[in-house]
Each structure stands twice: as structure tokens, then as C-alpha cells.
Amino acid sequence: QQQVKQSPQSLIVQKGGISIINCAYENTAFDYFPWYQQFPGKGPALLIAIRPDVSEKKEGRFTISFNKSAKQFSLHIMDSQPGDSATYFCAASRTGTYKYIFGTGTRLKVLA
Amino acid sequence: SQTIHQWPATLVQPVGSPLSLECTVEGTSNPNLYWYRQAAGRGLQLLFYSVGIGQISSEVPQNLSASRPQDRQFILSSKKLLLSDSGFYLCAWSGHQNTEAFFGQGTRLTVV
């Protein structure tokens, strides 16, 4: 119930293409869903986050789509660039628990 | 603005030696503090979290311990390191509402 399942494990996309990473959760009490971007040897950095009262949130080239009934959410990176090559983690948390449950990560490589 | 400092960046320690990793947060008060471990190519495993001074919650049984001697200071320790303690250790903080977590730059620990 506490798991967040993330797929794919790795992803290769051509420059200018769309990168899509998916996550699924079981615990319907989760109410905050952030995405983190991590470059090698660095700590994860918050990229974008969504709460279940909206179905989509867009910030620049990054969009989160949220499907509450399916208990799934996804990250879309439009016009993917080589500089987007990194590992992406989805996460989920529930108000009052102070804990963040992370997916296992997706290693994205954008080819020039 | 808030910043999180974590040191050292890299550490090589022999088996059986002690460990002390330190994390401090600036620009906020009474943060939630976290220690995560990231094994190579894997996700983030929550080790400890703290909602206040002297309050430590352990997520997994292990060879490590954590302490919070001051409001914005979080320390990860071990009396005797094992080979399996090698990994990338990340400190993070968050506010007390259900908000994003911010990560430090990590410590790469290699036990030899």
C-alpha cells in the first residue's frame, strides 16, 4: 500500500521528442505527488508537483498528468533536450505523515 | 532563502570504523529532517526522519543511527561500518505542512 511503482526503468529519446514517465500508487490517502530530477553525483531537485484536486499541471516543458480514479500520474517532457538527461523520481506523500515514498527512478537519456 | 548543507561530499572509510555525517539547514525553523540512502542505480530509501529536536523515527533496522541535537542539525552515525553501508546518503528537509522536500548534495560513502 505504501509503494509507488515507476516505469520505465530507463528511457532513450531523440532530441525534440516527448519523454513520458509513469507512476502508479495504491494508497488513496496520498495527496501530494512531486517529481524530482537528479543529475549524477547530485541530490534530487524538485521539478514539479501536483495535488489530486487538479488533473494536469504544466511548467514550461514539463507537465504532470494525474488520473485519480486510476491512481496514476505521469511526467511529460516536451521537446526533450540533451540537458534533460538525468534520473527522474516520482514520489507520493500524505498530509501529516511527514514521509515521502519514492519510485525507483527512471534514467532518461536524450540523444543529440 | 532556505539552504541545506551536507558534508563531506565523499568519504572512504574502512570496515569497522565509525561514521558521522552532518546536515544543517538554514533559513527556516523547526523543519522536518530526513536521511535517505540511495544504492547505485536504485531509488531512495528512507532511513530516518525527525519532526523535532530529539525526535527520531527509524524506518529500517540497520547499523546506523541518527540524532538531532539542534533544531536545524541532523547527524547520521555508525559505531562500526559494514561493507553494506556503502552508498549515497542524502539529507533532506521539509516544512510541517504537506509540502515539497529539499535535498542536500549528498555524501558518497565507500566502505572498504
Per 3-state DSSP, chain A is made up of helix, strand and coil in percentages (nearest 5) of 5, 55, 40
- Is the separation of the CB atoms in A54 and A37 below 8 Å? no
Place of cell 531537485: A45
Say yes or no for a CB contact (<8 Å) between B90 and A102: no
Instruction: Give the C-alpha separation, A28 to A39, whole Å.
Output: 30
- Provide the 10 A C-beta neighbour count for residue A78: 13
Q: What is the pLDDT of residues B43-62, one digit of tens each?
A: 898 999 999 999 999 887 77
Band (A60; pLDDT cuts 50, 70, 90): very high
Cell numbers at residue A110, please?
Answer: 536524450
Residue pairs between chains A and B whose CB atoms are closer than 8 Å? 54
Which of A42, A46, A104 lies closest to B105 in CB terms? A42
- Is the separation of the CB atoms in B62 and B35 below 8 Å? no
- Is the separation of the CB atoms in A84 and A77 below 8 Å? yes
Look at residue A1 in the predicted model and tell me its pLDDT. Answer: 60
Section B84-100 average pLDDT: 87
Q: What is the pLDDT of residues A81-112, one digit of tens each?
A: 999 999 999 999 988 777 889 999 999 999 99
